[in-house]
Amino acid sequence: MRIRMTAPLRERFVNIATYIVVLVGVIPVLLPLFWLISSSLKTKDTVFLAPPQWLPSVMEYHATSDFGVVDLIVDDTFAYATGTLWRVHVPLATGNYVHTTLDVPSDVLLPANTQDTDAFRLPLPSWQTTADVIRTGLSHNNSTATVAFVSDMVMPHDVICGKSVLNPQWNNYIKAFQEEPFHLYLINTLFVTCAGMLGNIISCSLVGYAFARLRFRGKNILFLLLLSTMMLPAQVSMIPTFVMYVKIGWLDSFKPLLAPTMLAQSAFFVFLFRQFFMTIPADLEDAARIDGCTPLRIYWDIILPLATPVVIVVAVFSFMTAWNDFFGPLLYLNSDEKQTLALALNNFKTAFGYRDPQLLMAASTIMIIPAVVIFFCAQKVFIRGVVITGVEK
């Protein structure tokens, strides 16, 4: 009796606890993606800033002192990949201005002491203004900054308040395309993806159809062979296949990437089609066969239209495989103009990863977006696919 009374309450408690855990757990899942997008909108010098910045923003500093206004303007045209060059513009009481640049690399922002992790000290070896600054301290939190100048010209401890201003750099996306012809790589990727999708749908469904519906000798053994290829690590046949493609002059072309799809080498897709075709009642074809239709005709007119759900699964999975594929292009594509997005991104990282991190982030975001969109549109398909691979295999 007691159990029944408390059970709903207890259920509720557990549900709330579950919610909390699941919500907390989802943060680390989404945070990196958020950071990716946020970084893709940052200026070059704020990407590598320590401590890292949440939002694509710049600090704007304004302060008044007895001697006038001190503006610290973050100038990204002079900033170096991982450092920050501050241009300091100090109007003096006499009406003159002092301009100077100040190299404040992010890696010298060291915690001043362990008790106060928000305080950072900037050792500045080369502060060359008429106001000879002996020591500059910047205490930093998310929204305000205080710069204390100690000098004989500017009064000690002039307080400069800074404000973090949201400043997304949308043109990073345009710049990324200007820096590297990603649009060409996008065409390459789309071509490989679409051709692979087409190849997979047609060849795998034909083979699946034959295995499901037609009787021929050796069928079972061949089907067993097909299933066993699923278990074989790809590395084992990688070398001879690579050599073969090199020898027939297919290196640096899309053919090695497309051949396996045209030749129904994905055992998983064939298996999916075969399982589905097994469930279609035989009467449908029998009628057509009596009318003298060839199996090809039956396949195209009757069987394939029925297979819509499997075609969707295969289309989505083969899109994702081709879109995400890195190893294939790495192995077979060499030329600049033949790169796929995955390969181009990796090359961009190697060459400009430190120089233009924000552009690399923008390019990565571009590559991730189609995958995310397709995933959200077809999440049921994904889940079904994963379950089939996972459980039936």
Residues 155-214 that bind another protein (CB under 8 A): 181, 184, 187-188, 190-191, 194-195, 197-198, 201-203, 206-207, 209-211, 214
Between residues 63 and 203, which has the closer beta carbon with respect to another protein?
203
Selected binder of another protein within 98, 241, 255, 275 (CB under 8 A): 241
Measured CA to CA in angstroms, residue 117 lies from 37, 53, 106, 109, 112 at distances of 27, 15, 15, 11, 7
Q: How far is the CB of 358 from another protein (least distance, A)?
A: 10
- Under the binding rule (CB under 8 A), the answer on residue 18 touching another protein is yes
Chain centroid offset of residue 249 CA: 33
Q: Residue 243 corresponds to which amino acid?
A: V
Between residues 94 and 113, which has the closer beta carbon with respect to another protein?
113
- Under the binding rule (CB under 8 A), the answer on residue 305 touching another protein is yes
Binding region for another protein (CB under 8 A) out of 56-64, 168-176, 277-285, 373-381:
373-381
Q: How far apart are CA 35 and CA 27, in angstroms?
A: 12
Comparing CA positions, the residue from 84, 123, 43 lying closest to residue 357 is 43
Q: How far is the CB of 56 from another protein (least distance, A)?
A: 14
Between residues 63 and 344, which has the closer beta carbon with respect to another protein?
344
Q: How far apart are CA 74 and CA 78, in angstroms?
A: 9
Instruction: Decide: residue 373, CB within 10 A, 0-12 exposed, 13-18 middle, 19+ buried.
Output: exposed
Largest CA distance in the chain: 104
The kind and range of the H/E element at 25 are: helix 2-40
- Under the binding rule (CB under 8 A), the answer on residue 349 touching another protein is yes
Q: How far is the CB of 309 from another protein (least distance, A)?
A: 10
Q: How far is the CB of 156 from another protein (least distance, A)?
A: 18
Chain centroid offset of residue 196 CA: 22
Q: How far is the CB of 141 from another protein (least distance, A)?
A: 14
Selected binder of another protein within 77, 94, 220, 235 (CB under 8 A): 235
Q: How far is the CB of 106 from another protein (least distance, A)?
A: 6
- Under the binding rule (CB under 8 A), the answer on residue 345 touching another protein is yes
Q: How far apart are CA 310 and CA 272, in angstroms?
A: 7
Tokens, residue 8: 């709903």
Selected binder of another protein within 2, 66, 115, 240 (CB under 8 A): 240
Count of alpha carbons within 13 Å of 340, Cβ hemisphere only?
23
- Under the binding rule (CB under 8 A), the answer on residue 126 touching another protein is yes
Beta strands at 68-69 and 85-91: parallel, antiparallel or unpaired: unpaired
Between residues 49 and 154, which has the closer beta carbon with respect to another protein?
49
Residues 56-115 that bind another protein (CB under 8 A): 80-83, 101, 103, 105-108, 110
Count of alpha carbons within 13 Å of 145, Cβ hemisphere only?
21
Total binding residues toward another protein, as defined by CB under 8 A:
145
Selected binder of another protein within 87, 121, 175, 255 (CB under 8 A): 121
